[in-house]
Amino acid sequence: MPTTDIFNGGFDTLVAKLATITGLPVTVSSDPRNINPPCVIVEAPAFQMPTNSIAQMDFTVKVLTIGPGDRKALAKLLELADLIRAANIGLTGGRPTVTTIGAGEYASYDLTVSTKVAP
């Protein structure tokens, strides 16, 4: 169902853009219960309002892979992060981490994607 408010619209637009990246062999999901690594999870955004009609939205995009966090897992994470960078969707930074979902731990990167949205 399409949304009309700027915050849900901004979220949906980012998820849609990630889903269209050619060569990104992942499932884009906003629900961590649906993961199937390698995958991307878009977390709830932070936002600032420089005006009442324009919002700066900052998303944490988690890129997860399977494996013990060795060089092979790192190579896959960096490859996926580079595909997102090349899509020119507002990637501003990233940091390595381990993501725990349920009883599973996944080698991951937290990428920051920033975008401006307006009605």
Domain boundaries, the chain: 6-117
* 30 burial level (CB within 10 Å; 0-12, 13-18, 19+): middle
Query: What tokens does 40 get?
Result: 């991307």
Predicted confidence at residue 29, as pLDDT, reads 66
For residues 42 and 14, the answer to whether their CB atoms sit within 8 Å is yes
Confidence of residue 24 (pLDDT cuts 50, 70, 90): confident
Domain 6-117 bears CATH identifier 3.80.10: no
Tell me the per-residue pLDDT of 52-102, one tens digit each, with 9 for 90 and over.
889 999 999 999 998 778 999 999 999 999 999 999 999 999 999 999 888
Please state whether 38 falls in left (phi above 0), alpha (psi between -120 and 50) or beta. Answer: beta
Tell me the whole-structure pTM to 2 decimals.
Answer: 0.89
Give me the chain's average pLDDT, please. 89
For residues 53 and 117, the answer to whether their CB atoms sit within 8 Å is no
